């Protein structure tokens, strides 16, 4: 009898340990949750100067089909030192990450960012196209 | 019998534990502290932020004795204070309204060299005197200590030394008025603003041009632009002869340094270290669409100076700015 109880206890313990160690929610290399969402787009975009004040003139035009973000910036904007801010659909992430001031001065070659969906299966690359407002 | 022994042992253990707990929780009796009879003192520094040349360091020095009376109070600085250094001959207390109320306790202070003294003229055994040490040019980049000494009628002496305080290397110039078309040429080296004629005479030192443009096509407004900047940022400006220097500058907003904007109570201070550490190497030579509470970090073309210029207020075609300037080499 005693032996049977011990065996049962060991089995329960083993099952518990296995269940506890099992990964129930996968995360990616950034420690972000991988979900089942497949939406992959930019919902809004902001561009700040070194003074953390917006340099936009009007709203950014986001075209999710053409995968472009067109922004007109104020005359005199220092294009070499801007902070881009993306708002993405739920569970998406951005590549490359925005880590600080970004140089947008090469207007002929727009900067590109890739939006990756929540399930990490869909990737869409957006071009950020800047136009400087005339004086 | 065996059970009884076990029971007694358990009960003893329980009793011991509860007595230990009771003892540890017992409140110790309170006794009123006995005031020392000898002369005592204490000092605090009342000013905050960087210690800038020409600005006062304010201290409050308290002294008291149980028997006898106070006879004198002396502050001795390691570097003699600048003009305006003095000690209050009034002892302050805080009224219920929160206001500081001064009561005259001594003759006006006398400063000789680095020593400032107040001699008591009333019979008092406790007072708090304030000492204002105006930081002299001689202290720039050095450290200063202040030794406070109180003396009593029975010959006792007590001293407290405050510091050392590091004196900033930077300079400060407050409330410079800029006017588009007139006082619009800024020299960081001179920490001054010139009109066109004076700017031509100081051409080698002119770093920035202030201008205001109310354009319908873009938000230009108030701007600081280097004379060497792209002419599109200097619309309608004819530079005086020889005014052609450039700068590197970075726009900021809401960096309300408390020295430059004393009415703003944000407790922010720009100190030497901020000038030493900021990297302006890739920054442009113009800043347009500036407004009140905006500012710019500036580095002169020769790298000799870095400055922070803050817009205290703006009006159409006018601005009042204040500047902190640090000499790099």
Is the distance from CB of B249 to CB of B224 less than 8 angstroms?
Answer: yes
Q: pLDDT at residue A101 above 70?
A: yes
Nearest-neighbour CA in chain A from B215: distance (Å) = 8
Mean pLDDT rounded to a whole number for chain B: 92
| Residues 179-218 in B contacting A (C-alpha not used; CB under 8 Å) | 215, 217-218
Q: What is the dihedral of CA B200, B206, B211, B217, to 10 degrees?
A: 110
Rounded to whole angstroms, the Cα distance separating A103 from A109 reads 11
Q: What is the pLDDT of residue B49?
A: 93
Q: Does B252 touch chain A (CB under 8 A)?
A: yes
- Last-in-domain residue among B118, B135, B166: B166
Q: In whole angstroms, give the CA distance from residue B315 to residue B317.
A: 6
A50 contacts on B by Cβ (under 8 Å): 250-252, 283
For residue B296, tell me if it sits in a domain. yes
A127/B contact by beta carbon, under 8 A: no
pLDDT band at A54 (very low <50, low <70, confident <90, very high): very high
Compute the average pLDDT of residues A51-73. 96
Kindly indicate the confidence band of residue B58, based on its pLDDT and cuts at 50, 70 and 90. very high
The answer to whether residues B247 and B253 touch, using CB atoms and an 8 Å cutoff, is no
Once rounded to an integer, what is the mean pLDDT over residues B195-201? 96
User: Is the model's pLDDT at B2 over the cut of 60?
Assistant: no
pLDDT tier at B30, thresholds 50, 70, 90: confident
Asked if B187 and B283 sit in the same domain, the reply is yes
State whether B55 and B160 are in the same domain: yes
Residues B317/B297, Cβ–Cβ less than 8 Å = no
Q: Which of B11-15, B44-48, B252-256, B297-301 has the lowest mean pLDDT?
A: B11-15
Query: Looking at residues B30-35, what average pLDDT do you find?
Result: 84
Instruction: Give the A:B interface size as CB pairs under 8 Å.
Output: 44
Q: Which residues on chain B are in Cβ contact (under 8 Å) with A82? A: none
For B270, the domain range is 171-327
pLDDT higher than threshold 70 for residue B9: no
pLDDT at B13: 67
Which one has a higher pLDDT value, B80 or A17? Answer: B80
Partner-chain contact B253 A80, CB within 8 Å: no
Provide ipTM, 2 decimals: 0.79
* Same-domain pairing of B159 and B188: no
Interface membership of A134 toward B (CB under 8 Å): yes
Q: What is the pTM of this model?
A: 0.83
Do residues B162 and B180 both lie within one domain?
no
Q: Are residues B217 and B303 in the same domain?
A: yes
Are B260 and B172 spatial neighbours (Cβ–Cβ below 8 Å)? yes
Q: Output the average pLDDT for chain A.
A: 90
Among B44-53, B158-167, B256-265, B267-276, which is the least confidently predicted range? Answer: B256-265
pLDDT at B6: 65
Task: Render pLDDT for B171-196 as a digit per residue (tens, 0 to 9).
Answer: 999 999 999 999 999 999 999 999 99
Lowest mean pLDDT among A27-31, B21-25, B200-204: B21-25
Q: Domain check: are B270 and B312 in the same one?
A: yes
Judge if B193 and B138 occupy the same domain.
Answer: no
Q: Are residues B154 and B109 in the same domain?
A: yes
**pLDDT higher than 90, residue A21:** no
- Is the minimum CB–CB distance between A100 and chain B shorter than 8 Å? no
pLDDT of residue B263: 85
pLDDT at B93: 85
Nearest chain A residue (CA) to B254: A51
Residue where the block lists tokens 């002496």: B157
Residue B291 lies in a domain: yes
CB contact under 8 A, B282 and A81: yes
Q: How far apart are CA A1 and CA A12, in angstroms?
A: 17
Whether B290 is in a domain gets the answer yes
Q: What percent of chain B has pLDDT over 90?
A: 82
Smallest Cβ distance to B215: which of A49, A50, A135?
A: A135
Q: What CATH number has the domain bearing residue B161?
A: 2.60.40.3550
Chain B closest CA to A72's CA: distance in Å? Answer: 12
A81 in helix, strand or coil?
coil
With CB atoms and an 8 Å threshold, state whether A78 touches B283. Answer: yes
Of B218, B250, B294, the CB nearest to A133: B218
The domains of chain A, with CATH numbers, are 42-132 (2.60.40.2340)
Q: Does residue B284 sit at the A interface (CB-CB below 8 Å)? A: yes
In a domain, B63, yes or no: yes
Give the residue-averaged pLDDT of B242-262: 94
Candidates A49, A51, A55, partner chain B, best to mutate (most B CBs within 10 A): A51
Model pLDDT for residues B138-153, shown as the tens digit of each residue: 999 999 999 999 999 9
Q: Where does a domain end: B136, B166, B196?
A: B166
């Amino acid at each position: 009898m005693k032996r049977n109880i011990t065996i049962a206890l060991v089995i329960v313990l083993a099952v518990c340990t296995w269940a506890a160690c099992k990964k129930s929610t996968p995360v990616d290399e950034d420690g972000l949750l991988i979900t089942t969402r497949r939406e992959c787009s930019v919902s809004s975009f902001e561009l700040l100067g070194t003074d953390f004040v917006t340099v936009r003139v009007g709203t950014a035009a986001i075209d999710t089909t053409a995968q472009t973000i067109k922004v007109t910036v104020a005359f005199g904007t220092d294009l070499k030192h801007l902070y881009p801010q993306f708002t993405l659909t739920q569970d998406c992430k951005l590549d490359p990450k925005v880590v600080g001031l970004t140089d947008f001065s090469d207007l002929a070659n727009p900067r590109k960012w890739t939006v990756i969906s929540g399930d990490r299966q869909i990737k869409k690359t957006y071009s950020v196209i800047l136009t400087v407002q005339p004086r | 019998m065996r059970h009884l022994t076990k029971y007694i042992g358990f009960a003893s253990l329980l009793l011991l534990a509860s007595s230990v707990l009771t003892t540890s929780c017992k409140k110790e009796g309170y006794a009123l502290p006995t005031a020392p009879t000898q002369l005592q003192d204490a000092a605090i520094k009342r000013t905050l932020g960087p210690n800038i040349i020409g600005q006062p360091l304010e201290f409050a020095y308290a002294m008291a004795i149980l028997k006898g009376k106070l006879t004198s109070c002396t502050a001795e600085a390691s570097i003699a204070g600048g003009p305006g250094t003095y000690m209050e001959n009034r002892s302050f207390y805080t009224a219920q309204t929160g206001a500081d109320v001064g009561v005259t306790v001594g003759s006006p202070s006398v400063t000789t060299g680095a020593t400032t003294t107040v001699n008591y003229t009333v019979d008092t055994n406790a007072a708090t005197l304030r000492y204002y040490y105006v930081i002299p040019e001689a202290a720039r980049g050095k450290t200063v200590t202040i030794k406070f000494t109180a003396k009593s009628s029975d010959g006792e002496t007590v001293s407290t030394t405050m510091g050392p305080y590091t004196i900033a290397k930077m300079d400060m110039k407050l409330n410079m008025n800029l006017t588009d078309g007139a006082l619009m040429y800024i020299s960081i080296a001179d920490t001054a603003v010139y009109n066109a004629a004076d700017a031509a005479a100081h051409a080698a030192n002119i770093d920035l041009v202030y201008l205001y443009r109310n354009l319908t096509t873009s938000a230009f407004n108030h701007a600081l632009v280097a004379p060497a900047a792209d002419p599109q940022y200097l619309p309608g400006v004819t530079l005086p002869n020889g005014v052609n220097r450039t700068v590197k500058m970075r726009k900021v907003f809401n960096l309300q340094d408390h020295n430059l904007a004393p009415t703003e109570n944000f407790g922010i201070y720009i100190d030497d270290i901020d000038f030493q550490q900021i990297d302006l190497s890739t920054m442009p030579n113009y800043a347009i669409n500036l407004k009140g509470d905006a500012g710019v970090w500036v580095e002169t073309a020769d790298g000799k100076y870095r400055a922070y210029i803050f817009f205290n207020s703006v009006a159409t075609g006018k601005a009042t700015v204040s500047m902190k300037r640090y000499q790099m080499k």
